Structures are given as C-alpha cells and as structure tokens.
Amino acid sequence: MKKSAAVPAIIVVIFFVGITLYSGIWPPLTIVSSGSMQHSGSWTPGIITTGDVVYLKKVPDNSAIVTYINGSSTGYTTFGEYGNVIVYDYGGYQIIHRAMFYLGWNGTQPIVYGYSGQPWIKITNISITLFGIGYAGKNLILYLAPIRGLSGFITCGDYNLGNSNLNPSPVADQDQVLGFYDPPVKGNEIVGVAMADLPWLGLLKLWPMWELHLAIPQNPAPLNSYGFLLLLISAVTLAVLSPSILHKKRERENKK
C-alpha cells in the first residue's frame, strides 16, 4: 500500500478505535428503526428519526442519567427535549426512549426523584402526572397499580406522548393502560445514553430489508430523509473521486 493511501486508512482506524473506547460499548452505534422519538413527519435537525444512527455512551450509574424532570430544573436538553435519551434492553429488544423520571418508593408511597414542589407535577398514591410537557405540551400520567413497589426509570418516546389523543396521556412505557408492559428500567438494563445522532445513514441497511420483506417497518422514515441521504452519498462520492479526476485532468494538460 502506498504511503499516501495508508495515512487516511490509519486515521480512520484510530478514529473508530477512539470513539469505541470513549463509548465503552460495542458496537457504539445503533440504528433507529422506529419513529417513537420523531417530532413530526419530516426529518428535523437535532431530532432522532427513523433511519438515523445514534452514538451511545455507557453510564457508570443511575446518577449519570439526567431525567426530563431534572433537565427541566437545570435547562439541560438533548434531541429537542429535557433530559437524556437512553437505550435499554427489554425482552431481547433494544428500546430508545427518553428518561422521564426515576421512580422510587418509601413503603407504599411513591417517590419521584427530582420533585421539589414543581406545580406541573402531581403525585398521588394512585398515579403520577406531569402537566404540559414535551414538544406538544401534553399531560403524561403514569398509573402506579401495575408497577407498585418497583423502582427504576420511567421512560417515554417523544412521538408517543406528543401524538397521543388522550389527555392525560398514559403512554409511558411502564403504563399498562395502552398495552405497554415494561417495568421501570433498572440501571443494569441500560445499554447507554444517546450522545449524537447521525441522520439517514441507517436507511442504507433498513431500506433494503424493508423492500426485501426481511423486516417490517414499524414507522416509515420521513420522505425527505431519502433525499438528504442521496445528497450525502453524492457529496461523499464527489469528494472521493475529485482528487483522481483532477489528477487525470492535469496529466492530460501536461501531455499537450
């Protein structure tokens, strides 16, 4: 291999080794195959969308995860909303949703970590309600009966909450009213926290699988995602081929 070709290859290898070590997870990337985090039917910068590739980082313990409630107090946001987006294992599947709050218990009394009298949070022995939250300003209610005594993170997809027609909306992953049966997410079930979003690239894998009926699309990718992906491929191809094209052009000019 020529030295000129070896240098870029070495740089690429060092880059991927570096991001993997920083992530602490293998593989450090995951493809988003559903639209549960979308905020609209179009691809939007900074929002996790079907077909995106998300870069994950391992967290040392629960305290490293910023929930929606904690983020609302400090102004900390990721991917268009307060708090962290996490990927967790559930029944052999990986789910990517936002950590809304951490639920604990004092005997039979629920404890919402981060609650300090905020007027938009209501806690009773029957349910926990967050009023006017998310990009659509919906009310999220969590009924406690199915998970009484169980501690962990309560999670929800941004899209699931924002597009619920119920008010209050029982769409937390831990609420069985609408058929969600996940127990609160424990620390050892968390794969990692979403740190960065690489748009469209996951469609290179998902789209052929959908077309060949090797996988069933849960939520189609926004149409403009395909257009942006085509532009990205064209730009990369042009960048890769341009040096060779220019080199050949100079050779032809020198021969004249």
Q: pLDDT tens digits for 140-167?
A: 999 998 899 999 999 999 998 988 877 7
∠ CA 90-96-100, rounded to 5°: 95
Residue 150's alpha-carbon distances to 123, 141, 182, in angstroms, are 16, 17, 11
Span 116-135, average pLDDT? 95
- This prediction's pTM: 0.84
pLDDT, one tens digit per residue, over 38-83 is 998 888 899 999 999 999 999 999 999 999 999 999 999 999 999 9
Structure tokens at 192: 């990692």
Least confident piece of the model among 50-59, 92-101, 244-253: 244-253
Please name the residues in contact with 122: beta carbons below 8 A apart, sequence gap of 6 or more: 128, 129, 131
Helices (H), 48-174: 68-74, 158-162
Q: What is the pLDDT of residue 1?
A: 46
Which of 31-45, 185-199, 200-214 has the lowest average pLDDT?
200-214
Cα separations (Å) of 195 from 59, 61, 136, 205, 254?
A: 11, 16, 23, 21, 50
Residues paired with 133 in a beta bridge: 138
